[in-house]
Structure 1
Amino acid sequence: MKRIRISRCGSQLLAQPAHRRPTCPSAAAALQSNFTPHNYRIQSRPQSTAAAFSGSDLLNAQSEAESSGGARNRKPPPARAARTASTSPPQSIADLTKHRSPRPERAFGSAKLAALRSRLSLPQRFPLQSLARTLVHPSADADPDFNNSSLSILGANLLSYYTTEHLLCNYPRLPMPVVFAAQEAYIGPKALATIAGEWGIEAAAVPGEEVDPGLLQFDRLRSGDDVPAGLRHHEAPWKWNITVTHKILANDEFGSSTSNKNPQSLRGQAVPLEEAAQSFVRALIGSLHLHLGRPLVKRFFRDHFLSRHLDVDKLFDFRTPTRDLSRLCAREGFEPPVARLISETGRLSRHPVFIVGVYSGKDKLGEGAGSSLDEARFRAAAAALKGWYLYKPLEFTVPSSTEGEMDTSEWIPNLVDCGEVIV
């Protein structure tokens, strides 16, 4: 069987003619043991004596070694066996020439990576190779050993954990729909893409081995193309069993079932800039956790995420606040709420204003103003519900503050509310 010759593959091939493939099993085994995951791709090598082997050469060498007796039934060394099990050689020339990431050693000569590390105030012990890997999306490099898919999964879980404990410890009475909305406001796809833009991340036009490692690399979605199925956000039809409890148990931290939970499933697919930017931010959090530890990651999360102002009271959307307030008072043993007119002006004019208060016995629960009595009563009941749900304890501790030897915070039990009003 003749070896397939590649006439043109751009600048990635060597000018020297390829050596012949080995014929003996021992030489084939030695050739296979010298190949790393990056060597499975067609690359230019600076040494003049280096031989350029194509993907078909490697496959033919392996098949000849197996057909000649399996190298005398000898088992490969443990290190080689682990390497061949984790990474399989490509099956086509298109896989070899498509979407390569820059070599890890090129990170030392990238001014953009050094500037990004200084801009984020990261310590010098944080390696530039890991920072460069966080910028490689699976759509730009399908090899999980060189893209940010695994780091992105770890970073997403850490961001979800830190954000959830912050919200639930600060506001223990928040309804779950508001918690979902606050989660998306802090660490949602649009929020992470905005943060990446504020950090000064620049995206490469086309991914490749010759691209600067300090650029965000991904296969850019062209104008007019369809978004991948894992990134589509469609309004699900109403179903009787899609409840808040179902969203807590079956969906993600945003209460949505359409978000992509496995970034590696997007390899080989064109993605929008927002997806690549959020994968970088999540991968950076995961990489910081692995290299620098939990205390620095928590400080980084506080400085770059929790420092952003969020009006939680703007996330509420009451449909029947008067009925919800009546049920809340009945559940807590309060007197039934009564709406009373506090003041008014211009009743017979075109723009009247009424101020109504909601009272439970002698305690005023809320107050609202409107152009009619019903609107003012509606807003007063909504203000009373917000006053209940936005309760914030004076002292509290988050669970992650007492973990590890470096965290010496004394644990203060948090308030665990019985939940929102079930209608």
Structure 2
Amino acid sequence: MGHASKRLVTNASRLPSVSTSHLPKFPPREALFLRDQEIPQPEFEPEVWASLQPPPPSALSAFASRIGLSSILSTTELIQQACTHSSFVAFHQHHYPSEPAPISNAQLATIGNSLMGLFATEHINATYPYLPTRVLKAAITAHVGSMTCASVANEMGSAPLLRWHRTPNTPNRPGILHPDALSSIPRAITALIYQKRSLLSARKFVHSYFLTREIDLRGMIKFRDPKAALLEMVAKFGAERPKSRLATVISIFLLLRETGRFSRAPVFVVGVFSGEDQLGEGFGSSLKMAEYRAAEDALLRVYLTRTPSHLVQLPTSTFSQNPGDIFRMAPEGEYIPPDLVASEIMYESSGKGRAAPGVTLQG
């Protein structure tokens, strides 16, 4: 035996033995054609047969270990339930009516979706206290929405374990696509962590996988008339009416910066002041453009004011860290509520109210 053959045998002997008892028999009985059968069998579809087979237990256990939840997802049945979408139940019963129906993650995904919305809402609201309501809703969707959950599930490596079935659109409900079914896995896992551990453990999981992602909040806000919106905001805070201090030669103390006024490519820098306080600054090839950007910068500076991470207080921190649900009697943790801030300009959250002049939402 040569050196290469000996090395191959040595490496093969070190590999762990994997049981093949979970593997389905192939070809299945329905794929065989018997000449003497009286009732012809329907045509065998290998894609449908493959989608009906459960994932191997080794893959389920590896998935739980990969995301660091092997102690919570302790059984393969629990992991398989978390990876089984509700659309798969009817699909399985249609092809195997005599077998018991698989357990789906429908209830777990509903609970997990509510928990993720709760964690995202309190985190964003505590981190950005001046954020307008509609932008807050958009930020929550960006953090824990369906597309984000599907992306996180892909990063976890749960796509091969998903059991689902595509359904078309109906008058009563929209169709189910692959991202919709895939997004149910992180939600179901969040609910399982809450049931097996505690609410704070579920919050830690959501913070680790979802809320630590950077979201571009500036791109979610766009102003049609930032000057009018700035006037209304300053009036709400009771500050002195703002004014733009343009770069001019006559008012030297009001000068910010300018270059190339009489050239083909001028640049003007404008500052917006309220009293002695500078609210914002903007530049542009014209004074009007610079004023627009300065007012927009002043609004964004207020709306995107961020609370330091060590000062962020979350209401769910009052719940117990012991295992169990939140409805049992347990000692409450300490919570210091932050100071209330002035409410934001009306952003027409319901779609029927009066929006502030020049304010809209992008994304």
Structure 1 residue matching 2:89: 3-state secondary structure:
coil
One-letter amino acid of the structure 2 residue matched with residue 286 of structure 1: A
Alpha-carbon distance between aligned partners in 2 of 1:218 and 1:193, rounded to the nearest angstrom: 14
Aligned to 1:271: 176
Deviation at 1:396, TM superposition (A): 2.9
Question: Is the 1:396–1:413 contact (alpha carbons within 8 Å) kept by the matching residues of 2?
Answer: no
CA RMSD, Structure 1 to Structure 2 (Å): 2.8
Alpha-carbon distance between aligned partners in 2 of 1:387 and 1:199, rounded to the nearest angstrom: 36
In the alignment, is residue 140 of structure 1 matched against residue 88 of structure 2?
Answer: yes
In the alignment, is residue 301 of structure 1 matched against residue 206 of structure 2?
Answer: yes
Question: Is the 2:198–2:321 contact (alpha carbons within 8 Å) kept by the matching residues of 1?
Answer: no
In the alignment, is residue 387 of structure 1 matched against residue 333 of structure 2?
Answer: no
One-letter amino acid of the structure 2 residue matched with residue 354 of structure 1: F
Structure 2 residue matching 1:141: 3-state secondary structure:
helix
The runs of at least 4 aligned residues of structure 1 exceeding 6 Å deviation read 97-102
Aligned to 2:17: none
The equivalent position to 1:178 in structure 2, one of 117, 122, 135, is: 135
* Within-5 A mapping of 1:149-298: 149-203=106-160, 215-220=161-166, 227-228=169-170, 271-298=176-203
Q: What whole-Å deviation, never above 9, does each CA across 1:390-421 have from its counterpart, x for those lacking one? A: 22334231001111155875311123333112
Question: Is the 1:218–1:271 contact (alpha carbons within 8 Å) kept by the matching residues of 2?
Answer: no
Question: Is the 2:320–2:333 contact (alpha carbons within 8 Å) kept by the matching residues of 1?
Answer: no
Question: Is the 2:159–2:182 contact (alpha carbons within 8 Å) kept by the matching residues of 1?
Answer: no
Alpha-carbon distance between aligned partners in 1 of 2:85 and 2:143, rounded to the nearest angstrom: 22
Aligned to 1:130: 78
Alpha-carbon distance between aligned partners in 2 of 1:377 and 1:333, rounded to the nearest angstrom: 22
Structure 1 residue matching 2:223: 3-state secondary structure:
coil
- TM-score in terms of structure 2 length: 0.69
Residues 275 and 172 (structure 1), Cα distance of their counterparts in 2 relative to 1, 3 Å cut: same
In the alignment, is residue 332 of structure 1 matched against residue 237 of structure 2?
Answer: yes
Aligned to 1:49: none
Question: Is the 2:82–2:189 contact (alpha carbons within 8 Å) kept by the matching residues of 1?
Answer: yes
In the alignment, is residue 404 of structure 1 matched against residue 320 of structure 2?
Answer: yes
Residues 175 and 347 (structure 1), Cα distance of their counterparts in 2 relative to 1, 3 Å cut: same
User: Number of paired residues?
Assistant: 275
Question: Is the 1:170–1:392 contact (alpha carbons within 8 Å) kept by the matching residues of 2?
Answer: yes
Residues 401 and 175 (structure 1), Cα distance of their counterparts in 2 relative to 1, 3 Å cut: same
Deviation at 1:145, TM superposition (A): 7.0
Alpha-carbon distance between aligned partners in 2 of 1:373 and 1:358, rounded to the nearest angstrom: 12
Please, which runs of 5 or more residues in structure 2 have no aligned partner?
1-27, 31-47, 94-100, 247-255, 323-330, 347-355, 357-363
Deviation at 1:340, TM superposition (A): 1.2
Question: Is the 2:280–2:295 contact (alpha carbons within 8 Å) kept by the matching residues of 1?
Answer: yes
- TM-score in terms of structure 1 length: 0.60
Alpha-carbon distance between aligned partners in 1 of 2:261 and 2:290, rounded to the nearest angstrom: 13
Deviation at 1:218, TM superposition (A): 1.0
Alpha-carbon distance between aligned partners in 1 of 2:179 and 2:271, rounded to the nearest angstrom: 45
Structure 2 residue matching 1:317: 3-state secondary structure:
strand
Deviation at 1:123, TM superposition (A): 3.4
Question: Is the 2:243–2:273 contact (alpha carbons within 8 Å) kept by the matching residues of 1?
Answer: yes
Aligned to 1:91: none
Alpha-carbon distance between aligned partners in 2 of 1:376 and 1:229, rounded to the nearest angstrom: 50
Alpha-carbon distance between aligned partners in 2 of 1:272 and 1:185, rounded to the nearest angstrom: 19
Aligned to 1:121: 68
